[in-house]
Chain A
Amino acid sequence: MKTTRSMVLVSSDPESLDRGALDVFSTLQKQITKFGLEEEIALSMITDISKHAMSPLVLVYPDAVIYGPVTTDDVPTIVEEHLYKGRVVQEKQISAYDLSGRVAWLSSRKGTMPAENRIVLKNVGQIDPENIDEYIINDGYEGLGTVLKEMTPGETIQVIKDSGLRGRGGAGFPTGLKWQFVSGAKGNKKFVICNADESEPGTFKDRLVLEGDPHAIIEAMSIGAYAVGADEGYVYIRGEYGLAISRMKKAIQQAREYNLLGENIFGTDFSFDIHIHTGAGAYICGEETALIESIEGNRGEPRPRPPYPTTAGLWQKPTLVNNVETLANIPAIIRNGAAWYKSIGTQSSPGTKVYTVLGNVNVTGLIEVPMGITLREVISIYAKGMKGSATFKLAQTGGSSGSIIPASLQDTPMDFDSYDKAGVSLGSGALLICNEDVCVVDLAKVLLNFFRFESCGKCNPCRIGNKRAYETLVNISEGVGTLQDLKDLKMMSDQLYELSNCGLGQTAGSPLKDILAHFRAEVEAHVKLKVCPAGICPMSGQRVYKIF
């Protein structure tokens, strides 16, 4: 790749494309040619970085100037003033603050985020995801070349084990161990699946990786396939992720053209290819066994375990299922070694974690920070504090299947083990930060409504339990709850965990457990005093769900 003076990026998320990002891009091309700058300025489309109202965005590096929303009419001015004459067009410029968007990569460039350490999002927003050369020039496919040429599958697994990488899908299972299980499973046919059915509400970290750095996933899956002895892979992408799907398709096509997928990769005996399978809008299909059922063409219902997918997965063959974020770590670990990876994060949870920060904070968006950072740091440093100087009340982690973290736990290091010890979970990486105006009963109601709707319906505790728990919460929020209801909620939460078949059911009751453990007084106020302290619940005194 030739050296350029400046880099211009145009956002290409669905909203930007809707608002004419492609026209902006082609006008930019014309204008740059017009001023004869095509040798000096690199122009590419990049993935989602914008807030809806501000898109489409045009970014100019290395100045880190953001323009938005840009129309084709603005382009000549920007090119002439900024690119040709070197003067920032101030009336179109917006700041990272205005941009309640993806603060991570923006801020990192400005050096305001000291703890940022980018592994997963290294290339996201910096390279043209539709150009395999840009990925390759940024050390892409080097890891794959290394393992194929210089390492045995066993050594590859050992590196991943030594790195201490743990699954980022929510459960935190040691990745190397999983690879070892699949590698050791009997069978002449094995599969690798990338779980990109990112359906936790408020989580979009995987989408950014898929849209911004699809080749990293291809490379990681290939490394995994080589390590476990698979020759076929699936990327199960959420159906709503149109851009991610098309980027991934394009990337697979390019990789095939470069023989980075297909037969005899890097001239070795290793052959591997990847299919794309799109989801149809079911939350449960993010659960790995339901995902496998879905690929097989069945109704998306989790399977009983054991047998685990590592021994009998897709079409009853040993199958490696890894989350997008987990996979995105793999090429870097192979390139830089296990020791390097272990030096980041905490002892038990090395590496970084990508969080989607949402809620009543000043800056929302995606951040990639080392494991072990605290909630207080996230809120005060990355999210720039609570909105309107409000008080932090609680954080909801993990989309829906995480925990409700009270303010008292905001200094607990955010890693798998510390959170486990505190009785809460990290979830999939969403952080919904709430202030005092949020009612915990209402929050639990929203969460249970989600689970009630998304339960697959296979096993009784989850299918019926979530519905009954939701109805009980509605009654409490209408001011007709009883103390027996609180006992029932606790019981339902315990039994859901104890009896459910999969992670959805097992974690569905945790909001109930959490609000009763940390905010019992507030819940009891709804029941005993018929008052919602936050003033959110309707408290109509009318029973919505009546007894026969």
Chain B
Amino acid sequence: MIKLTIDGNEIEVQEGTTVLEAAEAAGLYVPTLCHHPQLTPYGGCRLCMVEVEGARTLQPSCTLPATNGMVVKTNTQKVLDARKFVLTLIFSERNHFCMYCQVSDGDCELQNRAYDEGMTHWDLQPNWQPFEVDASHPFMVLDNNRCILCRRCVRACGELVGNYTLGFEERGADSMLVADYNVPLGESSCISCGTCVQICPTGAIIDRQSAYQGKETEVEHNIGVCVECSVGCQRDVLTRDNRLIRIEGVWEAPLNNGLLCDKGRFLPLEDDRPRLLTPLVRKDGNLKAATWDDAINAIAEGLGKGEGLAAIASTRLPIEDLALFKSVFADSLKAELVTTLEEGKATASLAKMAEKLGQSFESNLETLKDTDAVLSLALDLVDEHQVAGFFVKRQLTDGTNLIVADGKGNKLAEKASFKLDLEAGKEGSFLLKLHEAIESETGDEGFVKAAKLLKAAVKPVIVYGQDFAANADDKAVETLVGISESLNASLVGVKGNANSMAASQLGLESPIKTNGYKSAFIMLGDENPSQKLIKQLEDFPFVVALSAYGSQLTGNADVVLPVTMWAEQSGTYLNMDGRLQKAVQSLEAPEGVLTSRETLLKISEALEVETDADWKTRILSRTPTVQIKES
């Protein structure tokens, strides 16, 4: 432990703590601009300067490690003068005329710091060569004129996301933020994760959707889990007057630490599918608007006692909905098929293995954050589960080895140390060869190379995707577990949708077959139905669809009930590594639109069947592939 004195307060901190962190821990205020808790201290803005006894000049508290006996002062006249000078310089540098800026009046860290210091004006005259505004990106606008050159975005792009798109060109006062080798942002290697927008302290990078629409003081925050994939990032949905304004990552979230991908941050606001607002019932061949009662009656009539019934639910729905779905269709109605749209492809073989072993064999996502060798099996983390991909990508410059095994085009492979060919359907023999190479260092050159790398690693991780799990038979999964044991490697399985893991725990894993069913009950939620499913449903005499959006499937259905989309419902989600997390409702549903759960209850009432709302016992009753943790 280290003891130091800041402003007369004796403070005890861990070794390696900076003076800034020590001051903040003691509740003292030191203003910062370029500093961000998630980033390596940079020491560029010089706003956090403090007086240290014995030091020749003022010292930046953000980069200065606390040492024993250090005596620090954070509010002497010298420090206050320095702060004002630094702010004066920044304001005089470029276009920092607040009144026209989107982040002005509360959302701008620069302006807020100036208010904190009681600044009413600045003394130095501004003079700069205006930069062109880069509006080439579909989601973001980059304006160098409002940039304070703090490099937060550049550091976030590299250190957190591992994408290294943003950088600086030129030097001195001409320094400017550029993408790649100064190409328009929209044509660059940017993956639209939006971390730069979220981390920018001024209005230099803004997002198009929310610009000029909602300041901090005007929006409501709704923090919950993202439902776009099985990673389970925490995100904050900002709304104003029942309208989506913006989605941000939650910096304090232990898993994603503020990171989101384009699917979690930008794309939900771009959703322009036609919304369903009223129940529809097919009459004389045409779908006609109907009342809820008529529609429910039509369903009760059509489903009858449940013989020849196939019930299919989306894995984007909360566990509560899925559990109720199972209770109604499997337990009470004893429907012939009760499954999900994913048919358990990504989970079935893994779940079987866990049951066979009688224990979980997969590890937490955290293992991907700190590893020295990653083997990726039939999975492209650049394309899907991107945030997990960020964990891997950002370590590659620190010497972490990445081996990508895939049979098709894989963008992650571009960043890999080397690639192995893994043909779909041959997972078993691939793993056997790898296992042999690990045990005896014999076999194909590629396998031996991979084996050596993985064996040399201290914390190796094997990560695999839905395609792998779908194709791998029981034997292959057994080999995989064997490999992980001989390497002492962590296994991380990507599960697909936000609640695929929960569906697996509920046993909703049967494949969809179309022979001889009389009716289908499709609980789509806000998911887009696949063409394959639409095709399969053509043979069904009677189809009920619960959907938030109109699609070809709802057009073909016999009864359609409008339900809520992700933002209008709350519930629990079980992510790929067993975290139980809440999604919160952030918008009021349109009038006449119910949640899938409420709709199910209405239907079960009409069908006069029992329901069981207890989902937790159901989830925990099956041995999970990875330990389930309640947060």
Contact = CB atoms under 8 A, between A and B. Distances in A.
Contact of B49 (A307, A463, A499): A499
A375 interface: no
Contacts of A455: 171-173
A506 B59 CA distance: 13
A460 B125 contact: no
Given A306-B65, A458-B44, A299 B89 contact: no
Interface string B262-294: 000000000000000000000000000000000
Interface in B135-190: 148-149, 151, 167-168, 170-175
Contact of B85 (A452, A461, A471): A461
B43 A459 contact: yes
Interface in A480-532: 488, 491, 495, 497-501, 506
B50 to A, nearest CB: 12
Contacts of A468: 89, 92, 124
Nearest to B63: A304
A457 interface: yes
B125 A457 contact: no
A491 B85 CA distance: 9
B85 to A, nearest CB: 5
A506 B57 contact: yes
A412 B86 CA distance: 36
Interface SS, A side: helix
B167 A459 contact: no
B90 interface: yes
A466 B168 contact: no
Contacts of B58: 498-499
Contact of A306 (B45, B64, B124, B148): B64
A116 to B, nearest CB: 36
B609 interface: no
A416 to B, nearest CB: 15
B407 interface: no
A501 B58 CA distance: 10
A302 to B, nearest CB: 9
Given A463-B175, A465-B89, A488 B124 contact: yes
Contacts of B173: 452, 455, 457, 463-464, 466-467
A501 B60 CA distance: 9
Interface residues of A, number: 36
A465 B85 CA distance: 9
B41 A495 contact: no
Contact of B172 (A299, A453, A491, A495): A453
A285 B149 CA distance: 20
Contact of A282 (B81, B85, B171, B175): B171
B84 to A, nearest CB: 10
B168 A463 contact: no
Nearest to B60: A304
Contacts of A500: 46
Contact of A499 (B42, B64, B86): B86
Contact of B86 (A456, A461, A471): A461
B89 A457 contact: no
A471 B171 CA distance: 18
Contacts of A10: none
A454 interface: yes
B171 A457 contact: yes
A500 B42 CA distance: 13
A499 B51 CA distance: 11
B126 A467 contact: no
A495 B45 CA distance: 13
B123 interface: yes
Interface string B479-491: 0000000000000
B89 A460 contact: yes
B45 A459 contact: yes
B567 to A, nearest CB: 41
Interface in A410-457: 452-457
Contact of B43 (A304, A488, A491, A495): A304
A298 to B, nearest CB: 10
Contacts of A282: 171
Contacts of A545: 125, 127
A491 B172 CA distance: 20
A58 interface: no
Contacts of B44: 458-460, 501
A1 interface: no
A501 B46 contact: yes
B396 to A, nearest CB: 14
Contact of A501 (B43, B89, B171): B43
Nearest to B49: A499
A488 B174 CA distance: 23
B300 interface: no
Contacts of B125: 471, 545-548
A499 B43 CA distance: 10
A456 B171 contact: yes
A284 interface: yes
A355 B314 CA distance: 79
Interface string A208-231: 000000000000000000000000
Contacts of A467: 127, 172-173
A306 to B, nearest CB: 6
B558 interface: no
Interface in A155-178: none
B618 to A, nearest CB: 51
Contacts of A499: 46, 49, 57-58, 82, 85-86
A84 B368 CA distance: 80
B93 interface: yes
Interface in B15-57: 41-46, 49, 57
Nearest to A283: B171
B612 to A, nearest CB: 58
Interface in B102-148: 123-127, 148
Contacts of A452: 172-173
A466 B172 contact: yes
Interface in A274-297: 282, 284
Nearest to B93: A464
A461 B89 contact: yes
A408 to B, nearest CB: 26
Nearest to B62: A304
A33 B45 CA distance: 67
A514 B594 CA distance: 77
A282 B392 CA distance: 34
B168 A299 contact: yes
A60 B92 CA distance: 61
Which of B43, B127, B173 has most chain A Cβ within 10 Å?
Answer: B173
A498 B170 CA distance: 25
Given A488-B124, A499-B57, A457 B85 contact: no
A459 B85 CA distance: 13
A299 B164 CA distance: 13
B130 to A, nearest CB: 13
A447 to B, nearest CB: 14
A491 B63 CA distance: 25
A282 B172 CA distance: 11
A468 B81 CA distance: 18
A499 B85 CA distance: 10
Given A304-B41, A491-B85, A498-B82, A460 B46 contact: yes
Interface string A161-201: 00000000000000000000000000000000000000000
Contacts of A488: 123-124
Residue from A299, A452, A456, A460 having most chain B Cβ neighbours under 10 A: A460
B58 to A, nearest CB: 5
Contact of B167 (A299, A460, A491, A546): A299
Given A467-B173, A546-B127, 6 more contacts: A304-B60, A460-B44, A460-B46, A463-B173, A499-B58, A547-B125
10 contacts: A282-B171, A452-B172, A452-B173, A455-B173, A459-B45, A463-B172, A464-B92, A466-B173, A471-B127, A501-B44
- Please name the 10 residue pairs, one residue from A and one from B, whose CB atoms are nearest each other, closest first: A457-B175, A304-B63, A304-B43, A455-B172, A464-B89, A467-B173, A547-B125, A499-B46, A464-B93, A495-B85
